[in-house]
Structure 1
Amino acid sequence: MSKPSLRFDVLLAGLISLLFFSMTLGLTFFISQHATNRLQSEVGMNLSTTAHQLSDKLDHYMWSRYAEVKLLGSLSTIQQTEQKTETRRTLEELQRQIPDFSWIGRLDTEGNVVASTNQILEGTSIKERPVFQQALSQPFIGDVHEAVLLAKLLPNPSGEPLQFVDISTPLYDKGRFSGVLATHLSFEWAKAIEQSFQSATSSLQQVDVFIISQDRKTILLGPSGWSGKTLPDSVTLTSNASATASWQGKEFVSGQSTSRGYKDYDGLGWTVLVRQPTSIAFADADALRQTIFIAGLIASFVTAVLGWMLAKLLTRPLLKITHAAQQMQDDPSKSLPNHRGIREIETLTDALQRLIHRLLHTEQEKLTFERLSQRDSLTGLANRNGLAQYIEQLPAETHSIYLCLDLDGFKAVNDTYGHALGDLLLIEVSQRLEQLLPPGGFVARLGGDEFIIVLTTQSLTEARYLGEQWIAHVSMPYHLEEQTVHIGMSIGVAEQVTGESLEQVMHRADLALYRSKQNGRGCMSVQ
């Protein structure tokens, strides 16, 4: 009878050892896959965020030039055809202030250039060009194209073919069509923005930036040798998402963002693609997977040996532990039984408890990271994610008033004193906004020098009063790093009405802010 009993014990020990080995290895594999997938997903999200930020910067730049052309076209000097010398002087002054305008011309109703910067093309007819034809009745923004008439007159210092973006607007003198204001905006500005953006994201290794045309095939701007080429067939543009694809035999992960314009500028449909070699992007994830696998393999082997050696002694306690572990799969609040008297059982129980604690701690760290993702790292205010979370948690019947804030003169401070002082200025502005924030109010930084305040317990009259207080408070002098700087602030206010979505009320607040800017800044408008 003793021999069959011995074989049963050996078989039982082997089964227990195999069970522990498999469970530990399986858990290790699950944790490894989950952790690495999370890291890889975060890499893609970071690249997509980078692409979105660059796309947003390009849209803001184009909108600024578009607005400047429309503003210039509203001047009586430009609208009238008689003041040729004064018109040329005005055009050249704009070009001097904004050198990215390679050429600016005032055309008559027949498409003849009557005045232009440096008298280039004066007396020449360009009536067949889209910059004239498309602007006969409404403003026109044309996509990137190579210079036709100006290629020889305005050679590119870099030796590369000169490329332009056309911006033009119809002119009216006392209500009658009097011609077109046409401009050629050098595409070199996009390269400058891309280079500055590369410097700002230098912490990302081997990152390449591509700007792809509206046809989603032609590369307008990219690394050396890529500009003007066609996007490889292996690369699929998936709007505002990350993807992995092969580029000439090498794997890259990329984040993308398609231009959606800004305010009354509808955008040119460009797609910004930011790519990074998978060997660099996923290096941390691969290292983590290898570490977890080795640790899991060691842990699996150790538990198997312990199970083999202590099978007879641990049979009954292990059954209880296994039963408790099965219960924990359905109810995480359950815990393993505490066995005392057998050191090995105590050690195993404590080890499993610590493992569970580490897993729960890891989950808690994940939640903490998600909370941090809702805060602006510079000012500590909520960011766009935090704003969305706050709005989502508001009761449906909440009466909200939205104040869109934009600093006046911040760019001049940034350009004069540098970004470091500009960051300090943003921090102090945030503190001043919070100082006057009433109970129940919410303030967030949307990016750059844009902020938003949500009031939920105030009337529109009270919101106006608070807005004036904020403008006055923010407009007071700032003493930063032995420098005294002055800025202002404009506010657009919109009161949410029943049935109105967040996007609609924020759009109205943006329109009100735009009106405040037009009215001279440092003021508040209600939409």
Structure 2
Amino acid sequence: MNKLLQVGIRVQVALATALLLVGLTVLMSFVVGKRSGADLQKQIGLGVSDIARQMADELDRTMWTHRGEVSVLSTLSVLQELEDTQQISSIVNRLSREIPIFTWIGVLDRDGTVVASTNDLLLGANIAQRPVFQYGKNGQFIGDVHDAKLLAEKFPLYNGEPIQFVDIAVPLFNNNDQFTGVLATHLSWEWADNVRKTLFAGQGIHRAVDIFVISADGTVLLGADGALVGSSLELDALQQAQRNNVGWKISTWPDGAEYLTGYAPADGHLDYAGLNWSILVRQPVEEALEPVYILRRDIMAWGLVLSIISSVIAWWGAGFFVGPIGKMARSIEEMKRGEIERLPDFDGAREIKILSNSLNALLAKLTEKDAALGQMEHIAHHDNLTGLGNRLALDVYFEHALAHADRHKTQLAVMMLDLDDFKPINDKFGHSAGDDVLREVAKRLRRCVRGGDLVVRLGGDEMVVVCHVGESGEGEATMLAERILNDIQMPFITGGNRVSIHMSIGIALCPVHGKTIDVLLNQADDALYAAKARGKNCYVLASDEGEPSGSKSSLA
């Protein structure tokens, strides 16, 4: 009778313990998994939207650059007078060779007849009815993506489809301010597809994203391997981008599948207003949110494992646990107070020893998980290539640095740094050599700044330095800029090759030029472009962009 009663109690304790722990595990897993999953999902979504924003910025910067090149070309007197067509032909052919994105360049007289062109294509043809002449004769014209109606047979297919162009045209006037013709150019749309393919290759969980460029009327201009090109999209994410918003959503696409969709507008660059393109970046939800699902699954699995272990212990120890458990409870209290580091081995039933060992193993695993979480946090805040901080680290650091500066009545200097002519290193020596140079640049930058300052890599060869400066913020910031320029200009050795490279720097001061990191980065970025415009290898202070604040010659 007593034996049956004992067995019944053990069964009841085991079942009650199992049900209680399973219920608590499910509840805890749901709450913790939902909260952690939501945070992780937000970070993944922000990563996709950041890709869209970077793609939009790359397109706008490229169009801005080539628009300026066409405007400068139109100021040549030989083009304005339209007298020496042989020299004009030589100029346009050389420009097409040097800058292949200009697939076709044509100089039209006042009647719309082509008098000089790339490889003499359409030479002598009258294209007065084409938009490049109709709009170009009235002022600078930038035409959206279109098929090559007159040149379709002159160029090979791209991805099995006829080549497409973006137009840039400007009017030509002679010295008497008389209209003499139009300089018309066709930019191959292939360059945008190359940006799409290479700009974000191999970026962690976002390495398999699809990037789309959408026109103002919702027509797909560019897609992954031609997907959806020419079709019209109606997505809530597209509507957000057309309202000049940047963000991400989970959207259902025309194929009926759900995608994590980042969106951003291509709203121009500097004085280039843009063509009202929208950028969408999508990734299948199951693939994009896989880390979220893994996190939730691991939380549930570990909870269930703990439930099973505890239930087994309860089954075997129900009859004689009271005494040893009391001792164990006291030992746990001592551990909580820091008096001991691990539970001691208890004499008695085998179940007591199992429980003691299991708890010690669990504590060890929790310690390992804490260390792993710390490592994950470090990875999330640092650039894999250089070990420098990333944009997330910059946002976190700036918030604390700004509070420190406010308390101590000091200033912050935000420097935007960009390597001059870095691409030729990759082209000549390979990307591994370029990576070596970037790592060495990171080391030199760390060497130049103080311990409490921050060096960040935003992407590519673009870096940011945030440092504390005193009341004479401008002087300290420019001294640091000079030190960086002097250090960077020292030769690099990579793969047995001696490489020389220089750097341009834009500087903004907080609170002089702004009190938010976005405003300061924009100010520093504008100053950086001013430094590039002055011949590179120099620094420019945002408040003094009219006069050079430093140059290679003054630092040598």
Cα offset for 1:184? Answer: 1.0
Matched, 1:480 2:494: yes
- Are the equivalent residues in 2 in contact too, given 1:432–1:473 (CA < 8 A)? yes
Q: Which amino acid aligns with 1:450?
A: E
Q: Which residue of 1 aligns with 2:190?
A: 188
- Which 10-residue stretch deviates more, 75-84 or 370-379? 75-84
Q: Which residue of 2 aligns with 1:61?
A: 62
For the residues of structure 2 that align with 1:198 and 1:444, how far apart are their CA atoms?
19
- Are the equivalent residues in 2 in contact too, given 1:257–1:271 (CA < 8 A)? yes
- Are the equivalent residues in 1 in contact too, given 2:531–2:537 (CA < 8 A)? yes
Matched, 1:386 2:386: no
Q: Which amino acid aligns with 1:73?
A: S
- Are the equivalent residues in 2 in contact too, given 1:213–1:220 (CA < 8 A)? no
- Are the equivalent residues in 1 in contact too, given 2:148–2:165 (CA < 8 A)? yes
For the residues of structure 1 that align with 2:479 and 2:39, how far apart are their CA atoms?
47
Q: Which residue of 2 aligns with 1:82?
A: 83
Q: Which residue of 2 aligns with 1:95?
A: 96
Aligned residues: 522
- Name the TM-score, length of structure 2 as normaliser: 0.76
Cα offset for 1:14? Answer: 4.9
- Name the TM-score, length of structure 1 as normaliser: 0.80
Q: Which residue of 2 aligns with 1:372?
A: 379
For the residues of structure 1 that align with 2:436 and 2:501, how far apart are their CA atoms?
13
Q: Which residue of 2 aligns with 1:521?
A: 536
For the residues of structure 1 that align with 2:524 and 2:367, how far apart are their CA atoms?
43
For the residues of structure 2 that align with 1:132 and 1:473, how far apart are their CA atoms?
51
Structure 2: stretches of 5+ with no match in the other structure:
241-245, 546-556
SS of 2:247's equivalent in the other structure is: coil
SS of 1:228's equivalent in the other structure is: coil
For the residues of structure 2 that align with 1:189 and 1:279, how far apart are their CA atoms?
31
Greater RCO, CA 8 A, separation 6+: 1
- Are the equivalent residues in 2 in contact too, given 1:219–1:230 (CA < 8 A)? no
For the residues of structure 2 that align with 1:405 and 1:279, how far apart are their CA atoms?
38
Matched, 1:240 2:232: no
Counterpart mapping for 1:251-400 below 5 A: 251-278=258-285, 280-281=287-288, 293=300, 296-308=303-315, 310-311=317-318, 313-314=320-321, 344=351, 347-348=354-355, 351=358, 355=362, 358=365, 362=369, 365-394=372-401, 395-396=405-406, 397-400=409-412
- Are the equivalent residues in 2 in contact too, given 1:50–1:274 (CA < 8 A)? yes
Q: Which amino acid aligns with 1:402?
A: V
SS of 2:196's equivalent in the other structure is: helix
Q: Percent identity?
A: 35
SS of 1:405's equivalent in the other structure is: strand
Cα offset for 1:230? Answer: 2.9
Q: Which residue of 1 aligns with 2:462?
A: 450
For the residues of structure 2 that align with 1:417 and 1:289, how far apart are their CA atoms?
45
Q: 1:254/1:172 Cα in 2 relative to 1: closer, same or farther (>3 Å)?
A: same
- Are the equivalent residues in 2 in contact too, given 1:45–1:242 (CA < 8 A)? no
Q: Which residue of 1 aligns with 2:224?
A: 222
Q: Which residue of 1 aligns with 2:20?
A: 19
- Are the equivalent residues in 2 in contact too, given 1:410–1:449 (CA < 8 A)? yes
SS of 1:402's equivalent in the other structure is: strand
Q: 1:368/1:66 Cα in 2 relative to 1: closer, same or farther (>3 Å)?
A: farther
Q: 1:371/1:521 Cα in 2 relative to 1: closer, same or farther (>3 Å)?
A: same
Q: Which residue of 2 aligns with 1:490?
A: 504
For the residues of structure 1 that align with 2:192 and 2:219, how far apart are their CA atoms?
18
Output the aligned Cα RMSD: 4.4
- Are the equivalent residues in 2 in contact too, given 1:374–1:385 (CA < 8 A)? yes
Cα offset for 1:124? Answer: 4.7
Q: Which residue of 2 aligns with 1:328?
A: none
Structure 1: stretches of 5+ with no match in the other structure:
326-330
SS of 2:217's equivalent in the other structure is: coil
Cα offset for 1:401? Answer: 3.0
